A and B are shown apart, each in its own frame.
Chain A
Amino acid sequence: MKELEYPFDAAYIIKKRKSLKKALLTDGTSRIRKKIAVFGGSTTSDIVKTLELFLLDAGIEPEFYESEYAQYFQDAMFPDETLLSFKPDIVFIHTTNRNVTNWPEMIDTTEQIDEKLHTELNRFTAMWKSIAEKFHCPIIQNNFEMPLYRLLGSRDAWDIHGRTNFLTRLNEAFYAYARENESFYIHDLNFVSADYGLKEWSNPLFWNMYKYAMCFEAIPSFAFSVSHIIKSIFGKNKKALALDLDNTLWGGVVGDDGVDGIEIGQETGVSQSYYEFQTYVKQLKSLGIVLTVCSKNDHENAIAGLNHPEGALRPDDFVIIKANWENKDRNIAETAAELNILPDSIVFADDNPAEREIVRTQIKGAAVPDMDGVENYITTIDRSGFFEVTTFSEDDLKRNEMYKKNALRAAEMASFGDYNDYLKSLEMHAVIDDFIPVYLARITQLTNKSNQFNVTTRRYTPAEMESVFEDDGYIRLYGKLIDKFGDNGVVSVVIGRKNGTALDIDLWLMSCRVLKRDMEFAMLDRLVERCREVGVETINGYYYPTAKNKMVSDLFGRFGFTKTEEHEDGSTVWQLRVADYKPQNHVIEVFGNDHAEA
């Protein structure tokens, strides 16, 4: 919804909150439901109501638990029945510098200040541990914003008696905990408040009148920032950035002005701004964001522009280059199809409002930021939070490369008459085995990102995955596929829960980048093998339809399962007798974990 996209009008959101919510709830979008517990150290009422809007807009329908006023510590340490039975999917600890009680005094010695620091820190670590134990869910914790005043002036920053210094040290200790603990995420309140303007942000009127730890109009900025982490945890990040060229990646029109005439590089302020933007886009690529071009240009002009010696980007930074005279919505739809991603996971960046409007209206769910003035491009994309990083795996580093190899495979496929011959020519081998710790982050990430090839669309938090990993009651398989073009990384995950002599399939997913490679059959062969080893006789498969997973509605049928139940909502139950099964993969050579790092 345009009203909730960066740069939004905070006052408008505050005033129109009720009607915005109504509009979101009746727009026909299907949303995942998540329970969010907010443990506040100050008033949270309007924060929660505003956060709700941003989450609804991102495809998440939240249900909230809110602490009684400032009861964050009690709720974390001694949750009552209501809270325990609420079973949150996420706990957000909304504390601020208003909740620090042991401030350093000028007369304190170094030891006394260290002691105070530890007292503060211990209170928080005790809460985090208690929450992890009692709720097994991700934790989002604010860091501290800088204080409203500095008793020592600039000295406050480095002198251990300064509150600024004290808060900085606390923040550092929080970050150390975040580095050591999965499923623990810092919400960077310190940055958001500085970005907004600390003086306005900390206006004491709102604390003294209403016990809000920030000024009222800052609440949307704050809630928006928190929503990015939640979106990212639940797999709602964008995956690809489709870029226009003329006046988006460089100044001028390459078709008219020629390569020598476009503005990019170090010559002028304008060309430097475009250069900075290109550098930023290249950095996004290093996060695993897939880059594509969507431009109205002749193809050779587009390539020439991207080869400009002063530019930071090169043609091979892009997985797909659509430079033609088709309508852009069509090019975006084709780009999504070729990448095997959903159109709503694309961000389209174009300086031309008319092109943006076409894509915004034709491609439902695609993000179309207002790219207005090259000097604003970076902040527009950055502040929109499309690509908030909560987990980062090896695979993210290699993603662009992998998509490009897929394009090579597609080219090779065209040269084969028989599809099976083509598959054999790929010289595929796979590692399919029980989970190992090094892949847990990637496996968890896949469960939160895969929408299409996913029979149950069950999402796992890192903590839940950890407990599945440690439980003997499960048969777990991950699959990693390698072929002559390169390593696709971990692309498939199966989790089955033992139920007497049967195995209930909780999860069966595969990344769409290895569709039609027979990888699913290799996984099934291995699963059956494992079932035989532990005496499982039947496998029960479950399909739960969503708006996105139609491609696997008959997966178990193709596998040779028999349908045993069919429900009105479209969900189906399937069964396979292990004894009758014969292997179905003949094109992938399969290894175990001893080959995992090969």
Chain B
Amino acid sequence: MDTREIFERLDRVFQDVFDDDTIHVTPKTTADDIEDWDSLEHITLISAVEREFRMKFKMGEISSMKNVGEMASIIAARAKG
């Protein structure tokens, strides 16, 4: 799974969760960039990303992720392992 594929699939998840087809995420995207991305929606997002990539984030990872780039690198690392 290369980075481009991860970001394409993340785009779809973000679009579904926020019900907005115009969303495109980059490694630098944070909650500040997406209007509805508050702490309540964060859990929906995490849950949907986990489903999409058939993996689970660890508790420490969820609280320390700073942006979508970090999320993508955890996904990539999990895919290799």
A residues contacting B by CB (< 8 A) are: 11, 14-19, 22, 45-46, 205, 208-210, 212, 216-217
* Contact in complex: B47, A11 (CB < 8 Å): yes
A16 touches B16 (CB 8 A): yes
Contact of B19 among A22, A205, A212, A216 (CB under 8 A): A22
Query: In the docked arrangement, what's the CA distance between A208 and B62, Å?
Result: 12
Residues on A with beta carbons closer than 8 Å to the beta carbon of B51: 11, 15
CA distance A15 to B14 in the complex (A): 9
Q: Which residues of A contact B16 (CB under 8 A)?
A: 15-16, 19
Chain B stretch 1-54: residues in CB contact (< 8 A) with chain A: 13, 16-19, 40, 43-44, 47-48, 51
Q: Does B64 contact A (CB under 8 A)?
A: no
Among A14, A18, A19, A45, the residue within 8 A (CB) of B47 is A14
**A residues in contact with B18, CB < 8 Å:** 18
> What are the 5 A-B residue pairs with the smallest beta carbon separation, nearest first?
A18-B19, A15-B48, A11-B51, A216-B47, A15-B16
Some 25 contacts from A to B, beta carbons below 8 A apart, are A11-B47, A11-B51, A14-B44, A14-B48, A15-B13, A15-B16, A15-B17, A15-B44, A15-B47, A15-B48, A15-B51, A16-B16, A17-B44, A18-B19, A19-B16, A45-B40, A46-B43, A46-B44, A208-B59, A209-B43, A209-B59, A209-B62, A216-B44, A216-B47, A217-B47
Interface residues of B (CB under 8 A from A): 13, 16-19, 40, 43-44, 47-48, 51, 59, 62-63
Residue of A whose beta carbon sits closest to that of B18? A18
Residues of A within 8 A of B48 (CB): 11, 14-15
List of A residues within 8 angstroms of B40 by Cβ: 45-46
Q: Which residues of B contact A19 (CB under 8 A)?
A: 16, 19
Complex Cα distance, B62 from A16, in Å, reads: 22
Chain A positions within 8 Å of B17 at CB level = 15, 18
Min CB distance, A19 to chain B, in Å? 5
Q: Which residues of A contact B13 (CB under 8 A)?
A: 15
Instruction: Give every chain B residue within 8 A of A11 (Cβ-Cβ).
Output: 47-48, 51
The minimal Cβ–Cβ distance linking B61 to chain A, given in whole angstroms, is: 11
In the docked arrangement, what's the CA distance between A326 and B31, Å? Answer: 58
Task: Specify which chain A residues have a CB less than 8 angstroms from the CB of B19 in the assembled complex.
Answer: 18-19, 22
Taken together as a complex, chains A and B put the C-alpha atoms of A15 and B44 apart, in Å, by 7
Query: Which A residues lie within 8 Å of B44 (CB)?
Result: 14-15, 17, 46, 216
Residue of B nearest to A217 (CB): B47
**Docked CA distance A45–B13 (Å):** 20
Cβ A209 vs Cβ B47 within 8 A = no
Distance in Å from the Cβ of A94 to the closest Cβ of chain B? 16
**B48 CB to nearest chain A CB (Å):** 4
CB distance from A40 to the nearest CB of B (A): 13
A14–chain B nearest beta-carbon distance, Å: 6
Q: Which residues of A contact B62 (CB under 8 A)?
A: 209
A212 and B46 CA atoms in complex are apart in Å by: 14
**Residue picked from A22, A210, A217, most chain B C-beta under 10 Å:** A210
* A226 to B51 Cα, complex, angstroms: 25
User: Known contacts A22-B19, A46-B40: does B47 contact A205 (CB below 8 Å)?
Assistant: no
Which B residues touch A210, using CB under 8 A? 43
Task: Determine the residue in chain A with the shortest Cβ distance to B38.
Answer: A45
Bound complex: CA A17 to CA B19 (Å): 9
**Complexed CA–CA distance, A556 and B7 (Å):** 66
CB closest chain-B residue, reference A205: B59
How many angstroms between the C-alpha atoms of A482 and B75 in the bound complex?
A: 71
Since A11-B48, A14-B47 are in contact, a sample of 18 more A-B pairs with Cβ atoms closer than 8 Å, ordered by chain A residue number, is A14-B44, A14-B48, A15-B13, A15-B16, A15-B17, A15-B44, A15-B47, A16-B16, A17-B44, A19-B16, A22-B19, A46-B40, A208-B59, A209-B62, A210-B43, A212-B43, A216-B44, A216-B47
Please name all residues of chain A whose beta carbon is closer than 8 Å to the beta carbon of B43 when the two chains form the complex.
46, 209-210, 212, 216
> Chain A's nearest CB lies how many Å from the CB of B11?
14
Task: Specify the chain A residue showing the minimal Cβ separation from B47.
Answer: A216
Q: Considering the chains assembled together, what is the distance between the CA atoms of A17 and B40 in angstroms?
A: 13
Q: Which residue of A lies closest to B57 (CB)?
A: A205
Complex Cα–Cα for A112 and B40 (A): 40
Chain B neighbourhood of A18, CB < 8 A: 17-19
Minimum Cβ distance to chain A for residue B79 (Å) = 19
C-alpha gap A19/B16 in the complex (Å): 8
**Which of A17, A18, A22 is the most central at the interface, judged by chain B CB atoms within 10 Å of its CB?**
A18
What separation, in Å, do the CA atoms of A216 and B40 have in the docked complex?
Answer: 12
Q: Which residues of B contact A17 (CB under 8 A)?
A: 44
Inter-chain CA distance A14–B45, complex, in Å, is 9
Residues of chain B lying within 8 A (CB to CB) of residue A16: 16
> Quick one: closest B residue to A20, CB to CB?
B19
How far, in angstroms, from A157 to B29 measured CA to CA in the complex? 50
**Interface-central residue, B17, B40, B44, B48, by most chain A CB under 10 Å:** B44
- Give the chain A neighbours of B47 by CB distance below 8 A: 11, 14-15, 216-217
The chain B residue sitting closest to A21, CB to CB, is B19
Shortest CB–CB separation between residue B13 and chain A, in angstroms?
Answer: 7
How far in angstroms is the closest Cβ of chain B from A399? 43
**In the complex, what residues of B have CB within 8 A of residue A14's CB?**
44, 47-48
CA distance A19 to B19 in the complex (A): 6
Q: In the bound complex, how far is the Cα of B47 from the Cα of A392, in angstroms?
A: 40
B-chain residues with CB within 8 Å of residue A205 when the two chains form the complex: 59
By a CB distance below 8 angstroms, the chain B residues around A15 are 13, 16-17, 44, 47-48, 51
Q: How far is the CA of A217 from the CA of B47 in the complex (A)?
A: 8
Q: Which residues of A contact B59 (CB under 8 A)?
A: 205, 208-209
State the CA gap A216–B49 with chains docked (Å): 13
Query: Residue of A at shortest CB range from B62?
Result: A209
Report the minimum CB–CB distance from B63 to chain A (whole Å): 7
A16 to B19, CA, bound (A): 8
| Residues of chain A within 8 A of B63, CB atoms compared | 209
Q: How far is the CA of A47 from the CA of B78 in the complex (A)?
A: 30
Complex CA distance for A17 and B16, rounded to whole angstroms = 9
Q: How far is the CA of A383 from the CA of B17 in the complex (A)?
A: 27
Interchain CA distance A22-B16 in the complex, whole Å: 13
What residue of chain A has the Cβ atom nearest to residue B13's Cβ? A15
Q: For A46, what are the chain B residues with a Cβ–Cβ distance below 8 Å?
A: 40, 43-44
How close is A571's CB to chain B, nearest CB, in angstroms?
37
| CB-based nearest A residue for B63 | A209
